Structure 1
Amino acid sequence: MPHHTQTFTIPTSGKSLVEFTSDVAQWLATTGVTTGLVTLFCRHTSASLTINENAAPAVKRDMLRWMEMVAPENAGYEHDDEGPDDMPAHLRATLTGASLSIPVVDGRMALGTWQGIYLAEHRSQPHRRQVVAHVMGD
């Protein structure tokens, strides 16, 4: 069973949800895998991955607003080594997770009609985040 890997570097502009579904789909098409599993792994503790709706822009805004309410800055966290957004970023990354698994069917990710893959940037400053992709299959 063949295995393929790719590292995606995703620039962010601060707190945001950056869709990179098409990047993964384009890479997957080059692997020749028609049936298998794609795993995506975020190599950071203050950014994360999620699959969510990619049609209505309000979804991204509401998700970011919700994350601010659930893990607000300046909430008296002990860990603030890199500033007031440091610990909230770690909490938000824990909520959304570091990895995703997506089935591959007929050479394409088996995402739903309105689903997109997002890197969630939880820090205020811009970063260049890395997501490692692995696909195995036939």
Structure 2
Amino acid sequence: MSVPLTTYNAPTTKDVDEWKKVDVKVKMWVFSTVFHSLLQMVLKEYSYARNVYLHMEKLFRDNNKARLMQLDTELRNISIDDISMAVYCYKIQHISNLLENLDASSKVQDKHLVIYVINGLSTKYEHLATLILHRSPFPNFSEFSES
């Protein structure tokens, strides 16, 4: 029994023209949604949407470790300054979420979120920090941030 060979039909001019139209639309969509500085990095070198995408993907993957380090440092050094406790806790949660989104293994443990909150409190909240540190069981972040 012989297996029929599939034939390859070369794209017609009409197919190529349609593909180019779609490619231009995809590139325009990408270009309209990225920052101007990123656009300048990819606009000159690549002519097809796929190449633009692959180049942008490489830029973001290469930047991933540096961004993880930046966010980790930001989380360790965050302080309440003159913002409300609710905003302060929101910022800590937001940075934690960003870390986890970049790398699932970078998920910040709940108890560490509470410790970051305590470490960044000003002397105005010294009594609160002492109460939290001596509480048993240690509070989780969600109950701490809600109070």
Same fold (TM over 0.5): no
Higher relative contact order, structure no. (Cα contacts within 8 Å, ≥ 6 residues apart): 1
Normalised-by-shorter TM-score class: under 0.3
Higher strand residue share: 1
TM-score between the two structures when normalised by the length of structure 1: 0.27
